[in-house]
Structure 1
């Protein structure tokens, strides 16, 4: 109720009853102020309770002070802001990666188109059986050399594996083995 309306109502009734108008008005304003404070405190109390529930703060047998709840709230908000920042950085990194992958895809598509549009370009397809046969022959060659590794105990096995890797799995040795297998396979295909 607006103060002007209250003044008019109380002015008429207080004069009739002989009451002191300023003291009645002061009492009324005081009670309104107390009611507003009570309402405000209730809202603050409810906000603190909701914050406790939201943050899932539980200390059995202890009553939390408002300062503790506020500090926990601040800590939680800072944690959420940090998580948000990390997610934004991750999202930006992923966006950059997507752009890079799209550029790579476009480049590869252009390379494929350029190769396909070359005149006289005839691609001979190699069957999966031939590929597997070559792979199998290479693996057989490696297995023959590996069969000499001693497997009597773990220390002999590990020492043998390391020396076998150093001797037979060097890039140049593997390259030579692959070339030998391909030459043999090529000779078999032609002959």
Structure 2
């Protein structure tokens, strides 16, 4: 069985015309950075991998995760996490409620699930924040909560869609390192889309420049 995320001649087509393509293998704990101009289809590529392509787009090639072909599976069956530019925290839920949303059906029981949430908050230096309103958090705190919510869903791979672009320089470096460290500790293959050369340098992995197809 091949571990990691393998994109086998993956090509996204729009209306039958090639839009963006990538052939790559990302080993557990490694980061592959994809760079390219705006509009080339980088976010669309990530949507293809998560199974959330809009109507009008199709794909060729295969998406294989830890030896399992997930190309035709529903998004929730792929076990692929993604972080976006915006944290997308639920405003009607507390911080703890947001984290609990990411938990799988097990563990069962309020006490066990609360313990998971508390441990996640402690891991990112936010102990005691479970009852906080997400609106009261700083940008860096929101980013950490979004990261842990995603990790609590137990993904087998991680996608980053310009995930650090809204943070200021100092905070960007801090959150970026936190994400990379947590992904490496969990042996997650990471595919990062970014315009920022510093993001690519910090990732320490291979860099692929993509251009428009056709």
Please confirm whether the aligned pair reaches a TM-score higher than 0.5, indicating the same fold.
Answer: no
Larger radius of gyration: 1
- What TM-score, normalized by structure 2, do the two folds share? 0.19
Greater strand share, structure number:
2
